[in-house]
Amino acid sequence: MPASMTPPGTQTDARDCDDELSFVDEADAPPAAGQFRSGAALPGGPARLPSWRILVVDDDADVHSTTLFALKNVEMQGRPLEFLHAYTAHEARSMLEREADIAVVLLDVVMERPDAGLQLVRQIREELGMDEVRIILRTGQPGYAPELEAIRGYDINDYRTKSELTRTKLYTAVAAAVRSYQQLRAVEASRAGLEHILSAGTQLMALHGVGDVAQGVLRQMASLLGQPPAGVLCVRDSGHARPDVLRVVAAAGEHAHLEGGELSAQREASLAGAVEHCMRERCTLGGDGWLSLHFPGKAGRDFAACIPFGREAGDIERRLLDVFASVVAVGLENVELVTHLNQAAFRDQLTGLPNRTRVVELVDALLAGTERNGTTLALVDLDHFAETNDALGHHFGDLLLAAVGKRLTSRLRSAGNPGLEVARIGGDIFCVLGDAGSVQPAPIQALFREPFHIDGQDVQVSATLGLVRLLEHDGTGADALKDADIALKRAKSQQRAGHFYFSRSMGVEIRERVRMMHALRSGFQRGELFLAYQPQVDLATNAAFGAEALLRWRTEDGRLIGPDRFIPIAEYSGLIVDIGEWVLRQALAELVRLHAAGHCTFTMSVNVSQVQFRHPHFVDMLRRALDDTRAPPEYVELEITESMAMEEPALLVEKLAQVKRTGVSIAIDDFGTGFSSLSHLQRLQVDRLKIDRTFVTEITGSARGSSIAEMVIQLGRNLGLSVIAEGVEDERQAHILRSLGCPLAQGFLFSRPLTPEALVEWLGNQGLIEAA
């Protein structure tokens, strides 16, 4: 094995070396070409199949040569291999942009940068949008990128250390990747075929008369198979005086003369036999030079198309033809289609109950009359239905939904409520509409105490209700459903298997939230958001060492909106991601200005929202912001909340590790308000704990008031973490914190949040300007 391919410190015996990337003799070569040969090729393919293109990306030339040597003269799926070579991630990306049909990338993890390989994976998937190409990671530094984390975090086909990648294992990995690539391409071919079928169906629906549709069917069928139109489309009408007669509705190509007549077994024996066989078997059939499709009719008329076809249809072709047949069957039964569409517009297909559209119609009619006064609309949402669906399968879930609809209808109506309506408005949500005395939460929820017997097993489910009294409703039927949904969400947020009635105050609250969301979005675009900076000081000297950037919002009319009001809305709407990036860049730019003004050791602390932190591109955004502003990362601190730190700690450990690699430090904000696991805390690469202002306020309130603050200070000391107290408002609090050993603090005692200009002035007054 070449020296460059051996991980440092790896010791192997002679037998191991023979089985590494130096590879075994040709006598031990991989299986012969064609061993994994798949089924029939797709139509139109050349006699000689093109090669599989393999891109080798590694900064070690020996790896390229040994890989080429190992896989030379090898065929996979009956096709040879063609190798492309790149020696850097940048070169590989350029090659991927200009070269087509690359099936597999053999990719080194560590090249010009330690994470060059993983970054190239991200670029391949996210920036180049190449989802089909298969990627096999190879590393000569085992342990650098943990296998499970790498595979979970990126779309990678395989992950191997170079020392374990023998010739046989290399062949196996590449063969598996090629198969996977071939399957993905087959799926893409299926998608293209389905798009063709969809387009064909649209064109067929635009035609008028059975004859025109039948001609279109022959054209589209031939186009789908890549050949000129030919053959016949026949119908057998069971209600006709001669039900055994096959009438030719349309014909094309050499059989065009048969159109309009009867298909005679004497004159067209082979063709007639193929059509008869298709009608009898009622499915897609091939053989004896014909391919036949059956189109079942719903009005006593069965159709069949038969075209000349000189080979065996592939599996994908047969599946696409079956889909095509189902589309055509609907087109040929256009009269029934109208009825079906009318039914589908107002009925749920799974349960047969009225659907949302029908409910809106019913409620609109009630609101226009006098019956609204005594009517209640209830939404019935099955609790944890998604988990049941995932655990037991969609078929089981469908059976459960049908059973729920049946029980609601039969039990509620049998209780003396014949006019009561039960509907399914979508997903696992049902609707009950009727007299207020009949639509009551308790009787409806009582129906769920008895388990449902589904597919041989008993299933217990509960339901949460949101109700609206039409007497108290102002608006349309659609608005009534929205109000009921608001009440349902409120009920689910409070307690599952409970209920809640809509009130006007809830509507006002929702509308106010929506109004503020739009105002915040507009205000952000207009520049109404700004940052204020609260100094952080060393308690021993009262000298400022840094500041925390705080987000503020002043509207056009000069009103200040509290962050406790608008930040939750920003998180709920997702706007916090853009706002958070803006905050970070503003704070970093201010840090650069402060350093340029002579405060060379000043640090900047920036809060990070949970929604923002969990965004998949957060670390990339952080790197770009640091690069663009040229802020020194060692003087930047990101604050995350304790609740965020304790949620999914295993995933957070990896995310924090990525953040720490940028050079910034991490603080846990509001520490002490949650229930942190010390074992998890030790695993997190954090640098500082912030004592929540609640515990700072309490330290002067009682004999035991300082206990939590003291505990946090001691914990920080034991774990080697810095500790800062926030919300310090008087000298007594500062004195107690000093006596407890707390080194750092911030609060109104030292300074309120300041504008950038005021911060510079405040620092100047403190006499902290350092020598340049």
What angle, 0 to 180 degrees and rounded to 10, lies between the N-to-C axes of helices 167-205 and 210-225?
A: 160
Q: In whole angstroms, what is the distance from residue 524 CA to residue 710 CA?
A: 40
Number of domains composing the chain: 4
Q: In whole angstroms, what is the distance from residue 145 CA to residue 473 CA?
A: 59
Note whether 252 and 315 are same-domain residues: yes
Q: In whole angstroms, what is the distance from residue 408 CA to residue 423 CA?
A: 9
Report the chain's mean pLDDT, rounded to a whole number: 81
Each residue of 23-41: pLDDT tens digit? Answer: 333 333 333 322 222 233 3
Q: Which two tokens mark 570?
A: 């920003």
Q: In whole angstroms, what is the distance from residue 115 CA to residue 103 CA?
A: 23
291 within some domain: yes
Per-residue three-class SS string for 495-523: CCCCEEECCHHHHHHHHHHHHHHHHHHHH
Q: In whole angstroms, what is the distance from residue 603 CA to residue 535 CA?
A: 10
Q: What is the DSSP letter of 764?
A: H
514 within some domain: no
Query: Which residues are 668's β-sheet partners?
Result: 640, 689
Q: Give residue 549's pLDDT.
A: 97
What letter represents residue 99's amino acid?
E
pTM, rounded to two decimals: 0.45
Range list of β-strands (E), 288-408 = 290-295, 301-308, 375-382
Torsion of CA 328, 329, 334, 339, to 10 degrees: -130
What CATH code is carried by the domain that includes residue 270?
3.30.450.40
Note whether 87 and 134 are same-domain residues: yes
What CATH code is carried by the domain that includes residue 413?
3.30.70.270
Report residue 169's pLDDT band, with 50, 70 and 90 as the boundaries.
Answer: confident
Q: Which two tokens mark 220?
A: 């589209």
Each residue of 386-399: pLDDT tens digit? Answer: 888 888 888 899 99
Report residue 725's pLDDT band, with 50, 70 and 90 as the boundaries.
Answer: very high
Q: In whole angstroms, what is the distance from residue 570 CA to residue 564 CA?
A: 11
When pLDDT is averaged across residues 52-66 and rounded to a whole number, the result is 92
Question: Does 341 have pLDDT greater than 50?
Answer: yes
CB atoms within 10 A of CB 762: 18
306 within some domain: yes
Each residue of 456-504: pLDDT tens digit? Answer: 888 889 999 999 998 878 788 888 898 898 889 888 877 777 898 988 7
202 within some domain: no
Can you tell me which residue has the tokens 């939590």? 708
Question: Does 7 have pLDDT greater than 80?
Answer: no
Note whether 66 and 116 are same-domain residues: yes
Whether 626 contacts 633, CB under 8 Å: yes
Measured in whole angstroms, the distance separating CA 279 from the mean position of its chain's CA atoms is 45
Whether 305 contacts 229, CB under 8 Å: no
What letter represents residue 627's amino acid?
D
* From 310-314, 377-381, 524-528, 669-673, the region with the lowest mean pLDDT: 669-673
- Helix, strand, coil content of the chain in percent (nearest 5): 50, 20, 30
Note whether 326 and 385 are same-domain residues: no
Question: Does 101 have pLDDT greater than 90?
Answer: no
Note whether 174 and 273 are same-domain residues: no
Question: Does 765 have pLDDT greater than 50?
Answer: yes
Q: In whole angstroms, what is the distance from residue 136 CA to residue 124 CA?
A: 13
What CATH code is carried by the domain that includes residue 650?
3.20.20.450
Domain that holds residue 87: 3-189
C-alpha pair distances (Å), 454 with each of 389, 412, 772: 13, 21, 78
695 within some domain: yes
Domain end position, chosen among 464, 485, 502: 502
Q: In 3D, which of 362, 424, 437 has the Cα closest to residue 398?
A: 424
343 within some domain: no
Whether 436 contacts 375, CB under 8 Å: yes
Length of the chain: 772
Report residue 200's pLDDT band, with 50, 70 and 90 as the boundaries.
Answer: low
656 within some domain: yes
Domain end position, chosen among 274, 307, 338: 338
When pLDDT is averaged across residues 508-515 and rounded to a whole number, the result is 76
Note whether 27 and 119 are same-domain residues: yes
Q: Determine what percent of the chain is predicted with pLDDT higher than 70.
A: 81
Report residue 704's pLDDT band, with 50, 70 and 90 as the boundaries.
Answer: low
Note whether 87 and 42 are same-domain residues: yes
Note whether 259 and 363 are same-domain residues: no
Note whether 296 and 332 are same-domain residues: yes
Note whether 331 and 356 are same-domain residues: no
Each residue of 657-685: pLDDT tens digit? Answer: 899 999 999 998 877 665 455 666 777 78
Each residue of 563-592: pLDDT tens digit? Answer: 988 998 898 888 999 999 999 999 999 999
Q: Give residue 763's pLDDT.
A: 92
C-alpha pair distances (Å), 651 with each of 50, 65, 143, 149, 657: 43, 39, 18, 9, 10
Measured in whole angstroms, the distance separating CA 626 from the mean position of its chain's CA atoms is 28
Mapped onto helix, strand or coil, the DSSP state of residue 529 is strand
Each residue of 520-559: pLDDT tens digit? Answer: 999 999 999 999 999 999 999 989 999 999 999 999 998 9
| HSE of 307, CA atoms in CB hemisphere, 13 A | 27
When pLDDT is averaged across residues 738-748 and rounded to a whole number, the result is 94
C-alpha pair distances (Å), 280 with each of 298, 308, 331, 692: 16, 19, 21, 79
Q: Which two tokens mark 646?
A: 């304790």
Note whether 406 and 444 are same-domain residues: yes
Query: Which residues are 354's β-sheet partners?
Result: 347
Q: In 3D, which of 102, 31, 105 has the Cα closest to residue 73?
A: 31
Note whether 333 and 356 are same-domain residues: no
Phi, psi of 75 (to 5 degrees): -115, 145
Q: Give residue 592's pLDDT.
A: 97
What CATH code is carried by the domain that includes residue 90?
3.40.50.2300
Domain end position, chosen among 288, 316, 338: 338
772 within some domain: no
